[in-house]
Amino acid sequence: MLHWFAGMQVRNVASIGGNIMTGSPISDLIPILMAANAKLEVESLDEGRRKIKIDENFFTGYRKNIIDRSEVLISVFIPKTSKDQHFLAYKQAKRRDDDIAIVNAAINIKFLPNSNYIKEARLAFGGMAPTTVLATKTAEKIKDVVWSRDLVETVNKSLLEEIPLSADAPGGVVSYRQSLMLSLFFKAFLNISNTLEKSMDLKILDDRDRSGINGFHTLDPKSSQLFEKVSSDQKTTDPIYRPLIHVSAFKQATGEATYVDDIPKYDNELYMALVLSTKAHAKIISINASDALKQTGIHAFYCAKDVEIDRNLNGPMIKDEEVFRSDTVTSQCQIIGIIIGDDQDKAQRAARMVKVEYEELFPVIVTLEDAIKYKSHISNTYVVHNHGNVEEGLKEADHIINGEARTNGQEHFYLEPHAILVVPRDNDELQLFSSTQQPGELQRRTAEFLGIPQNKIVCKTKRIGGGFGGKETRSALITLPAAFAAYKMNRPIRIVLDRNEDMEMTGGRHPFLFKYKVGCTKDGKITAADIKAYLNAGYSLDYSSFVMQNAFEHITNAYNFKNVRYESNVLKTNTRSNTAFRGFGSPQAMFAAESIIRDVANVVGKDYLEIMDLNMFQTGQITHYKQVLTDCNSSRCLKEALESANFEKRKEDIEAFNQQNRWKKRGISVVNNLFGVGFPPVFMNQGGALINIYLDGSVLISIGGVEMGQGLHTKMIQVASRILKIPTERIHIQETATDKVPNAISTAASVSSDLYGGAVMEACGILRDRLKAYRETMHEGNWNDWIQAAYLNRVSLSATGFFATPDIGADIGKTKNYYTHGSAVSEVEVDCLTGDHQVIRTDIVMDVGSSLNPAIDIGQIEGAFMQGYGLFTLEELIYSPDGTLYSKGPGMYKLPACSDIPGEFNVSLLTDAPNPRAVYSSRAIGEPPLFLASSVFFAIKEAIGSARKEENLDPHFYLQSPATSARIRLACQDSITEKIPKPELADASAWNIDI
């Protein structure tokens, strides 16, 4: 016997005893102990010690067992295995690292000595019931049975009868969980059979079956980063085009970097907690905060009645949001009121005591289908765009294709949640320390809400811990109530959202549904595309109409659709209001374009690469929004990506692999990216800078852009260093502040390096010209000497710069400033039995012009790719029919982990591709690479297609994004899934609500 001591009291640390006693039905340990026939030793003062089996009688209900409340777990006894015993354990989760199980299993098989007759079997499964289940009836049926292929059919039939799941079983994805139960046993069967074949003269398996034995293990990492070296004739002090380290890298890596919540607490500071709606659509009958206000340390409660009606309405584009909900709530987690307390704990506890009475309203609209059914359009957003003549284009076509593409939402999941500290100054002034991407807009909206001039408010942002668009407009959600309280009470107010609050309140990427009718010639030339686009805006407009506009502009991606009709449907639902997110609608639209390319290839019977090549944009062609393309490098990127990835040879190797393996399949796919750079409204394409030179020769830069990890500050220092001809170490950027650079637009749309780089260039150019005479006359002097001389001659050592993107606007046929191009090839391997997958290799070729900083740009490419990988394969927002967000917090919402990074990850920057439209011939890089991760999605689809061929099924099939393990497994239809009634192919998601 193995003896594990389990009774020690441990605080904040997981333990074996704790795992057993909490009894989670998806515990990874309990199925193993149950299958092992383990025993527990417990003790109480009255009854003394006794031993209990962890068997089918151990659990009496959800998280309940037969151990008495007076008993303490002392130890765990686990029997040793014998020579003729085989013990295997499996787990399937949404991701392999640090995740709860969807279904897990432990299989314990004992054979009669030196035979393949089963003496005893113990089969335990988690995730199939409110408790871990021991399949005793199935075990009894296979006792004394010979180990053979026929056994699998017996077990499958018996398990489905013994462990049924109703269609409405908690946790959902019933078909997937049932198929996993059978698949995990089959994996054990393959493993044990393989071992028996080696030890005995038996032939049980086909060689192709052995591919189902093992799961995936993290690959040894391998990568390359290729970029153009700076020519040797350039001065070594010139930092441009060099891979300089991020200026905050060491501070952020060591935890020394300061964020809003790191600001020391003021002596008289208070904390704000939120009273949030619990209904998705309801009338507010009454609000009672009396119990909350009686609590010690609680100072105030504010709600809509405390604010003037006209000022309570707010919003970034139109005023369709209330700061405090007044009469009705239209989504869960809208702010009804705020509690102001001494600290976070007291304030949040009191907020939970506020009683809100509702009268529920109907309907509750959650999905796009709901919104379409109820015609829930946001007013004045329905638009139809026409390019060419779609009807004529469809008549010219040899084939008409009808299809659809769907993408789910995505959570920003920045490491730093929304935070604000509001500090009153002299009663009528406020300082906002905010984690926002948009200090200027936040200043304006706060001033408007409070009814005071903007010059009385200063918004400061040192840095933010990630934004991705989520901290543009939604920062106002907590800033406006906090500013109201601080202004009214004349005391500093702070709030930092809990992760659950942040996810429930602030919105994410827009779910999209595209329905299309496409015409093409027999060669695959696309003659027309008639597209209806549906977007889930949530409960308010926010930036949704801009997102839809950007989706329209990217709907053909890198391909020239001759005629285009695009119908925009911005739909209102009773869910959180969706907002800007890296890519701003373009990843969803380009996903539809790549789906169309593959549909056309299927119909005309050609390789999709031929269809890409036939339809790809070339320099001089005109987009469907009437912009002439210049310097179009899409074909170059595709060619170099295919060559560097050795695409054709690897495709042949994959075909051979798939022929040799039944339960593991590989796929390889390529996607392209033509990303238009520039804010949709022309007025937003502007930026300012302030440069101060001090008497010790140090330089301080202030810009309107926010540093959020993307390296903006580093690049601005590089630009200033080149113009002023001083080392980067002498230049600093302290923070973004509205009293230094006014009226700044949002740090977004990948244009910040362009806009603020241009502004820094102008300001530094002014200072350089002012110092020119001193440089030329004081030959023996240095930078400090020139500064001193200029100061003594009363020359200003401060300058402002301003940049407005020239020649841009739909009225002149130039909606986009320029384009960033890219292509990616990804290879994956899929486990057909579980739906798990692994990215073996990814090769990216990206046209970033002449990179200002290759290290930062390649980091942006790799980071964007992994965020896109989450969008297209892993991350999934799950709502209940009543509008409750289930997938909140890191326990429920899964981001890519280290093991999800491609085993081999190669990034190359296109050489000899300068861009005359941006700073030092560079191109924007923050958003464009994200879509390239869809190459993994399409590679997965190729692998599934190969699996479907094994069952004589169509390898061309509909697959919704994200390609979760559930969708992958159920699409790999086989004899196991055939036993499961009505597979949930349309809405399957690897999900379990137990934590």
Task: Extract the annotated binding site.
Answer: 5, 15-19, 28, 73, 91, 437, 468, 472, 582, 584, 749
DSSP state of 377: B
Q: How far apart, in whole angstroms, are the C-alpha atoms of residue 151 and residue 230?
A: 66
Tokens representing 361? 């309203």
What does residue 638 show for φ and ψ, rounded to 5 degrees?
-65, -45
Which residues make Cβ contacts (< 8 Å) with residue 650, sequence separation at least 6? 668, 827
Its sign, for the CA torsion 389, 395, 397, 400, is positive
What does DSSP say about strands 526-538 and 564-572: parallel, antiparallel, or unpaired? parallel
Residue type, 933: A
3-state secondary structure of 525: coil
Say how many C-beta atoms besides its own lie within 10 A of residue 865's C-beta. Answer: 27
* Binding site feature residues for substrate: 472, 584
Tokens representing 513? 């549904």
Q: How far apart, in whole angstroms, are the C-alpha atoms of residue 157 and residue 162?
A: 9
Which residues make Cβ contacts (< 8 Å) with residue 48, sequence separation at least 6? none
List 702's β-bridge partners, or say none. Answer: 690
What does residue 869 show for φ and ψ, rounded to 5 degrees?
-60, -40
Residue type, 294: K
3-state secondary structure of 896: coil
In which element (H, E) is residue 629 found? none
CA nearest 591: which of 628, 558, 543, 637?
Answer: 558
Say how many C-beta atoms besides its own lie within 10 A of residue 45's C-beta. Answer: 8
Catalytic residue annotation:
927
Residue type, 287: I
* Binding site feature residues for Mo-molybdopterin: 437, 468, 582, 749
Rg (CA), the chain: 31
* Binding site feature residues for FAD: 5, 15-19, 28, 73, 91
Tokens representing 934? 């869809």
DSSP3 helix / strand / coil % (the chain, rounded to 5): 35, 25, 40
CA nearest 205: which of 633, 655, 661?
Answer: 661
What does residue 594 show for φ and ψ, rounded to 5 degrees?
-65, -35
Helices 647-660, 634-644: crossing angle, 10 deg rounding: 50
Q: Measured in Å, how far apart are the chain's first and last C-alpha atoms?
A: 32
Q: How far apart, in whole angstroms, are the C-alpha atoms of residue 207 and residue 215?
A: 17
Q: How far apart, in whole angstroms, are the C-alpha atoms of residue 970 and residue 180?
A: 10
What does residue 271 show for φ and ψ, rounded to 5 degrees?
-115, 140
DSSP state of 568: E
Q: How far apart, in whole angstroms, are the C-alpha atoms of residue 192 and residue 399?
A: 51
List 155's β-bridge partners, or say none. Answer: none
CA nearest 220: which of 911, 987, 902, 924?
Answer: 902
List Cα–Cα distances, 365 to 360, 521, 576, in angstroms.
Answer: 13, 41, 11
